[in-house]
Amino acid sequence: MGKLKTFYSANSIKNFLQSEFQDQNIGFVPTMGALHHGHLSLIDRSNEENDITVLSIFVNPKQFNNPEDLEKYPRKIEEDLALLDHYGSQVIVFIPEVDDVYPKDFTSVNIDLGELATTMEGEFRPGHFQGVVDVIYRFYEILHPTRAYFGEKDYQQLAIMRFMVEKCGLEKEVVGCDIIRENSGLASSSRNFRLSEKDKQDALVIYNSLSKAKELAKDHSISEIKEMVKRNFENSTLELEYFEIVHPHTLRFLNEWVPGARACIAAFCNGVRLIDNMQLT
């Protein structure tokens, strides 16, 4: 097996893929680095389904509405490359600069994301999804992947990625992959690097609330479950930003149960914003 290849410019990776992998299936795993088991599971899935996997590491400034969040986002390029090393030539790493992703003549993708982007993450992180759409569209232009892999942890993002492909008529498959959790139940996330052991312990109120909601969904109403979760957070050190139970495809807030209903949650743990979700029914 050959060595891991790393590209730092859009032109160089574009030319390389065009000459070496034309007519082959390219799997794309977009990341912002600080890699963890969740990312590795996306790579493994992509490797199973494609001839080659391209993984991008790019902390996308456009999707951060809060400058402090952007500044504090974990950056661990050396560790990331060490973690990827054993994939050898099966994985190509793309680590572009901001000016290369967003050249002077860059214009935002002009699609109406509609209701999908106005609630939950869309409400509390204005502009976030436009930033995600912009960066992923640009990566699609550079890499021409056959399939792109996104974790279900960012459930709303995954729905928007599917919507974008359809709306823009892009011939790509968007593959959603299961949430990977630490043994405790805490969802794997790059942001976990910012948590102490105590924070991680405290943060379990998120997973525990979701699990309890799933258990209670059998014989309780949606409003009863929302009350229960609110109380759980009042008795914790975390600050709940939202807890919603939504339709699995439209993401509309539900008042009555439907099959596949999803609970989505965002909360601050010692200043670190965490999100998670779970299918309840």
Interacting residues with ligand PAF (CB under 6 A): 30-32, 60, 63, 132, 135-136, 154, 157
Interior CA angle at 37 toward 34 and 42, to 5°?
A: 95
Q: Cβ-closest residue to ligand PAF?
A: 30
Is residue 148 within 8 A of residue 120, CB to CB? The reply is: no
Nearer to ligand PAF, 155 or 233 (CB): 155
- DSSP letter at 260 equals T
Distance, CA of 176 to chain centre: 10
Tell the smallest beta-carbon distance from residue 121 to ligand PAF (Å): 10
Is residue 123 within 8 A of residue 95, CB to CB? The reply is: no
Nearest C-alpha neighbor of 109 from the set 51, 156, 169, 68 = 169
Nearer to ligand PAF, 139 or 233 (CB): 139
- List of E strands, 141-238: 147-151, 173-177
Nearer to ligand PAF, 41 or 232 (CB): 41
Nearest C-alpha neighbor of 197 from the set 184, 208, 207 = 184
Nearer to ligand PAF, 190 or 232 (CB): 190
Tell the smallest beta-carbon distance from residue 145 to ligand PAF (Å): 13
Nearer to ligand PAF, 136 or 206 (CB): 136
Tell the smallest beta-carbon distance from residue 7 to ligand PAF (Å): 17
Active site residues: 39
Tell the smallest beta-carbon distance from residue 30 to ligand PAF (Å): 4
DSSP-based helix, strand, coil % in the chain, nearest 5: 45, 20, 35
Taking each helix axis from N to C end, the angle separating 197-216 and 222-234, rounded to the nearest 10 degrees, works out to 160
